[in-house]
Structure 1
Amino acid sequence: MNKTFKIYAVVFIIILIVMGIFEMNKKPVLDWRKNFDTEKKTPFGLYIFDQESTVLFNKKLEKVRVSPYSYYQKNHQKKPHNILIIQKNIDEVSWQNMMSQVSEGSDVMWFTTEVPRKIRDTLGFRFKSVSFDENYYLQLTDKKLADKRLFIDKLPDNQGFSFIKKDIEILGKTLHKTKNNETSVQADFVKINFGKGHFYIHSEPLVLTNYYILNSKNRYMESVFSYLPDRETVWFIETDTPLSMSPMRFILSNPPLRYAWYLLLAGLAIFVFFNAKRKQRIVPVTEPLKNTSLDFIKSIGNLYLQEGDFHEMMAKKAQYFLNKIRMDLLIDTQNLDESFINKLHLKTGKKIELIKEAVELVKKGQDPYASVMKEDLIRMNKLLDDILK
């Protein structure tokens, strides 16, 4: 073992010891990230909801860890049921399967802050972000449930419905006091009829997290789910994401161990880098072959300009333009007639007057007896370049 390696090893061990001392004296930091994970006991995890969900749905709950598409491929003749989705990204094919189920009488309870545009347009609503300066309340519109209010005071998503169709029923709203002590109201929970079934969409998924369930004193969550019929409920927890079976799962799931692992890898990388750099032989610099095609083209162009052969340059440009039209736009260039002009107009979207002028200049360049001026070449070059953009 050489002296350099010993120095690196000692420095690395000292760093680990210092980090260990700091980690031992470090106060645990609460994780406020919005993970919506059924296994997380952090404030914005779904651990408590997951534990209570079976009782909440009268033991008629099925927890599914595949995508709706995979599930309904195996259960395509399923009877009308309830569907629960909490802040999950659903692919388009799965949405088609779920909407087919809803049209046959199923109901979807969806807690989300992001809705694909195609789904918004189909169901007839829009989302918007509302900036509230202070905390606010969530309240149901049903008079029997008016006292079931939830106080939102930690990291709200501030999402609401900015536009809804006339036949959409508002089931819940956000109440917020403005600076003028007036109450601002924003819809946050709606019911949408779709075929024989319904979509229930709530724009504040935080109501199901550990923090708000523990702090709720008036059973707001139970009141929201009371709109669903008492029947089987399918909860899509995951979307075909396999559970990690990696040996590093435990280390990577704990921040202190994860940072220590990354530090170890970084130290090894630095060690290998510096040692390889010192022992590596000098690699001679090899100049890459120079591409002289562009220089050749410039030389030919200058030659034509010096000779003043504008007619030949127009002919070359016309030949290049027509070949480009044949290859890229698949238009026959044998006859430069009105049919050709109309086809070129439709495929390029350029003004038909410019295309007609360009075609006349192309014909002029092809005519060996035509009188050509420098201005004709400049004008033709500009028109053809504009058309090919």
Structure 2
Amino acid sequence: MNKTFKIYAVIFIIIMVILALFEVNKKEVTDWRKNFDVNQKSPFGLFVFNKEAKDLFKNNLTKIDVAPYDYYTDKNKKPHNILILESEIDPESWNKILDEVSKGSDAMIIANRLPKNISDTIGFYGSKISYENENVLKLTDKKYQNDFIKLDKFPSGRGFSYIKPNVQILGKTVEENNEDQANFIKAPFGKGKIYVHCEPLFLTNYYLLQSGNVKYAQSVFSYLSDRETLWFVESNTKESSSLLRFILSNPALKYAWWVFLGGLVLFIFFNVKRKQRIVPIIEPLKNTSADFVKSIGNLYLQEGDFHDMMAKKAQYFLNKVRLDLLIDTQNLDEEFAKRLQLKTGKSAEMVNEAIVLIKKAQDPYASVMKEDLARINSLLDEILK
């Protein structure tokens, strides 16, 4: 382990310790977002309702984790109750729900707002919004006059602006500085009924955990018949089971994850910067001349033309003598032999034998054998050494 790596490791450990101290001393922040998620324990999640729903519906509740359109396709069910709680429903699924209600089922929709074509079908238009910080939800039926819930944290203040004559008001929002406005209605539809409540906050963790508020929820659901109830929770219950989602959903693990990624990026950056780039291997150029000579030699051997090869060898020798030894090669006489012997230092017998073979190679009518080619090749190479 080199010195530079040790320095980076110490710096990284110090950063981790500092971040851990910040995490320990950090004050937990309450998440007040209205998520309406059955798995969330935040104030406006539905974790408590999800746990208590079986008792509220007398163990006759079934949670469905697919869209109503997919559930009801190719399925013929007897009349039942349908519960939609702040879920996003596609138009085809809404049509399936209305079709089931028209056959005798009852639907209870608890949501801040509905698509306009659905609200028009049920029998109300638009919604009024109040910006009061507090209000009270009450039921209009005299037997439920003592069942109410006070909303003191971020009430939506929604109410129905116009209701058709055949729609019955079951609940209202009471505010100190505004007139009462309807927030819970019942509308007949075919053989069934549709209940709409526009303030789903009364089912969140924050309000259900307050003393006495469960009674209001029980009273709202008491309007449904005592039969099977299907709760479509598709948009809230489908969660990714990936490890990364689990890490990011936990604040401490998410913090550690980002620190780990940051440290990894820094390590790679500094480590790569110190590394020498790979030196490419360059293959040396091949001596193609030698290969060419070998190819030509093999060609001559295959043809068996020893006379031509002997003549070329003699011509090459005489050319080297002219250039390197500066001896005139026009006449291969005694004078030529004497000068070649002096400059090469070879014996007179070797030089004279070489001259005889050269003259034989230059004679186009001479008979040349393989042994003559081998002898002239060795003699001329020996003289030029």
What is the deviation of 1:242? 4.2
What is the deviation of 1:185? 1.0
Q: Does 1:172 align with 2:171?
A: yes
What is the deviation of 1:150? 0.6
Contact 2:138 2:173 in 1 (8 A): yes
What is the deviation of 1:153? 0.5
Q: Does 1:191 align with 2:190?
A: no
Identity rate, percent: 54
**Which residues of 2 match residues 1-389 of structure 1 at below 5 A?**
7-73=7-73, 76-128=75-127, 130-178=129-177, 183-217=178-212, 219-239=215-235, 242-269=238-265, 272=268
Name the aligned partner's letter for residue 24 of structure 2: M
What is the deviation of 1:131? 3.1
In the alignment, structure 2 segments of 5+ residues that lack a partner are 278-385
Contact 2:111 2:197 in 1 (8 A): yes
Contact 2:111 2:199 in 1 (8 A): yes
Number of equivalent positions: 276
Contact 2:107 2:194 in 1 (8 A): yes
CA shift digits 1:20-77 (9 cap, x unpaired): 1111122333332222222333222222222221121122111111111221125x21
Contact 1:137 1:150 in 2 (8 A): yes
Normalization by structure 1: what TM-score? 0.64
Tell me the C-alpha RMSD between the 2 structures: 2.6
What is the deviation of 1:201? 0.8
Name the aligned partner's letter for residue 36 of structure 1: F
Structure 1's 242 and 146: CA in aligned 2 closer, same or farther, altered over 3 A? closer
Q: For the residues of structure 1 that align with 2:35 and 2:200, how far apart are their CA atoms?
A: 11
Structure 1's 54 and 9: CA in aligned 2 closer, same or farther, altered over 3 A? same
CA shift digits 1:275-309 (9 cap, x unpaired): 7789999xxxxxxxxxxxxxxxxxxxxxxxxxxxx
CA shift digits 1:94-147 (9 cap, x unpaired): 111111101111111111113123222332323435233331100111122122
1:373 equivalent in structure 2 = none
What is the deviation of 1:257? 1.2
**Mean CA deviation greater in 24-33 or 270-279:** 270-279
Contact 1:67 1:240 in 2 (8 A): no
Rg comparison, structure with higher value? 2
Matched residue SS, 1:248:
helix
Contact 1:68 1:239 in 2 (8 A): no
Q: For the residues of structure 1 that align with 2:227 and 2:131, how far apart are their CA atoms?
A: 38
Contact 1:140 1:172 in 2 (8 A): yes
In the alignment, structure 1 segments of 5+ residues that lack a partner are 282-389
Structure 1's 242 and 142: CA in aligned 2 closer, same or farther, altered over 3 A? closer
CA shift digits 1:241-287 (9 cap, x unpaired): 64422123432221121132123324434655677789999xxxxxx
Q: For the residues of structure 1 that align with 2:77 and 2:147, how far apart are their CA atoms?
A: 34
Name the aligned partner's letter for residue 215 of structure 1: Q
